[in-house]
Chains A and B, each alone.
Chain A
Amino acid sequence: MTIDTATRMAYVDGELDAIARRRVERAMADDPALAEAVARDRALRQTLGARFAPYVAAPVPDRLATLLDTKVTPISAAPRRSRFVSLGLGRWMQGAVIAATLVLGIAVGRQTAEIGPVATRDGALVAQGRLASALNTQLASTQPSDAPIRIGLTFRSTNGAICRTFEEQQLQGIACHAGGRWGLVRTAVEKRSGTYRQASSDSLASVAETMMAGAPFSAAAEIEAKDKGWQ
């Protein structure tokens, strides 16, 4: 029985069913030339496999990993717009990200080496760096009057999370604690007649008020919340 080339290769590629496989194996037993050809086919698979195996074993290069990073992506420069579109953000969130990015662009321009205060995670904005640390540790009752980031109100929102308003030179907003991070639910950046204008603290407080369950935390409640990890 002769085995044609396509069948022999299909055998090596594991494409044959049990009966066809047995047929090839019987033919190999009778025909050393066929057995040799199968061995060469197998060797070729190995040679090709070995040539390209290092790419599978190698760590993923950063430039590729960052495209798919589901952890915090540090924003150290204004990212391309397409990146955010591809993260599947809702339209309004894209707007928020772009607005925040513009603000961060200013911040980054001023303090080049430092990472920005905002990153994206799972398509949402989260605090990072100095902002995250201020939200975690700073108390409105004890913060210095010239603190670079000022914490305003701390309160429990109607959905149960602890939220805090914050202000710094370029960015103001409300951050709510969830999953060990401070998600930015409001960033108070407004575009008015071509200039980016800071929203006033008053409007921030009034937005906070609509989110609150009960009253803002007292100084004592703020300390207690901090000690409990903002849960």
Chain B
Amino acid sequence: MRFEEQLLALVPRLRRFAMSLSRNEADGDDLCQMAIERALKSRDKWQPGTRLDSWAMTVMRNIWIDEVRARKRRAETFVAAEAGDCIGDGGDRRVEATVELGQVDRALATLPDEQREAIALVLIEGFAYKEAADILGIPMGTLSSRLVRGREALMQALGEVA
């Protein structure tokens, strides 16, 4: 099967991973598009015979990391400006922003990024620990402890609203 066809077959899973990282459909599809474009561009870096799904998820996750960093920079600028301009407004906005989200999304939103991506790869995508650790570029022990902490935090968040 050609590279494009193999990648096309993976798109539903890539979308799912994108959605669990971004927890937002518009962002998720943007992320997916960027990941597909980058995968096509850097297809030479994928070694035939190795798993294309792990490779494509790695590509997507690296794009997402960059995006998150860029967002944090933007958010810091925004918060600093807001703190000066309209003190006391932040709380209401936060409530508005989260009121639309479902229970699971809210629980996921409470996780640090590194726990969320570990949870997404193992619990949602069904990767083995070894593969997930490779995608994230971390040792298995680190992955395992992120999974433990992430899962405990999710349980707590879901338990509170339930």
B104, A47: Cβ atoms closer than 8 Å: yes
A48, B104: Cβ atoms closer than 8 Å: yes
Q: How far is the CA of A170 from the CA of B11 in the complex (A)?
A: 37
Interface pairs (10), CB distance under 8 Å: A6-B144, A10-B129, A15-B129, A47-B104, A48-B20, A48-B154, A52-B19, A52-B20, A70-B2, A88-B40
Please choose the segment from A27-35, A54-62, A108-116 that sits at the chain B interface, where 4 or more of its residues have CB less than 8 A away: A54-62
* CB < 8 Å neighbour of B11 from A10, A44, A57, A60: A60
Q: A15-B128, A45-B123, A51-B104 are in contact. Are A68 and B8 (CB under 8 A)?
A: yes
Q: How far is the CA of A5 from the CA of B119 in the complex (A)?
A: 15
* CB < 8 Å neighbour of A86 from B40, B123, B147, B152: B40
**Taking the nearest CB of chain A, how far is it from the CB of B157, in angstroms?**
11
Q: How far is the CA of A65 from the CA of B7 in the complex (A)?
A: 10
Interface string of A196-217 (1 = CB under 8 A from B): 0000000000000000000000
Does B134 sit at the interface, judged by CB under 8 A?
no
Q: A51-B104, A51-B105 are in contact. Are A68 and B11 (CB under 8 A)?
A: yes
**Interface residues of chain A: helix, strand, loop or mixed (majority):** helix
* CB < 8 Å neighbour of A65 from B11, B20, B145: B11
- A interface bracket (residues with beta carbon within 8 Å of B): 35 or more
Query: For chain A residues 64-88, which have a beta carbon within 8 Å of chain B?
Result: 64-65, 67-70, 82, 85-88
A56, B12: Cβ atoms closer than 8 Å: yes
Contacts of B37 in A (CB 8 A): 67, 82, 86
**Taking the nearest CB of chain B, how far is it from the CB of A97, in angstroms?**
15
Q: List residues of chain A with CB under 8 Å of any chain B CB.
A: 5-6, 9-10, 13-15, 40-41, 44-45, 47-49, 51-53, 55-58, 60-61, 63-65, 67-70, 82, 85-88, 122
- Closest-by-CB residue of A relative to B130 is A15
Does B36 sit at the interface, judged by CB under 8 A?
yes
Does B32 sit at the interface, judged by CB under 8 A?
yes
With an 8 Å Cβ cutoff, the count of chain B residues facing the other chain is: 39
Q: A44-B155, A61-B29, A70-B2 are in contact. Are A10 and B12 (CB under 8 A)?
A: no
**Taking the nearest CB of chain B, how far is it from the CB of A41, in angstroms?**
7
**Interface residues of chain B: helix, strand, loop or mixed (majority):** helix
A44, B123: Cβ atoms closer than 8 Å: yes
Which of A41, A60, A68, A82 counts the most chain B CB atoms within 10 A?
A68
Q: How far is the CA of A89 from the CA of B17 in the complex (A)?
A: 30
B148, A6: Cβ atoms closer than 8 Å: yes
Does B158 sit at the interface, judged by CB under 8 A?
yes
Q: How far is the CA of A82 from the CA of B41 in the complex (A)?
A: 9
